[in-house]
Amino acid sequence: MLKILVVLIVIGFILWRFRVPLMAKVLGQPESRIQRQIDRRKK
């Protein structure tokens, strides 16, 4: 059970770190546009 939880946390962290390139590939949009949208939401 603990191993599954650790694996899920690690996968979540990796996906969070690489969210911009992954979203760019999935949505078919430039990384710069996605980064701007993420930055806009933070303000």
pLDDT digit string (tens) for 1-43? 899 999 999 999 999 999 999 999 999 999 999 999 888 877 6
Q: Report the pLDDT value the prediction gives residue 41, as an integer from 0 to 100.
A: 79
DSSP 3-state of 30 = coil
- pLDDT of 42: 73
What pLDDT does 43 receive?
67
Do 17 and 10 touch, CB atoms closer than 8 A?
A: no
8-state DSSP, 10? H
Sorted by where each begins, the domain ranges of the chain are 2-42
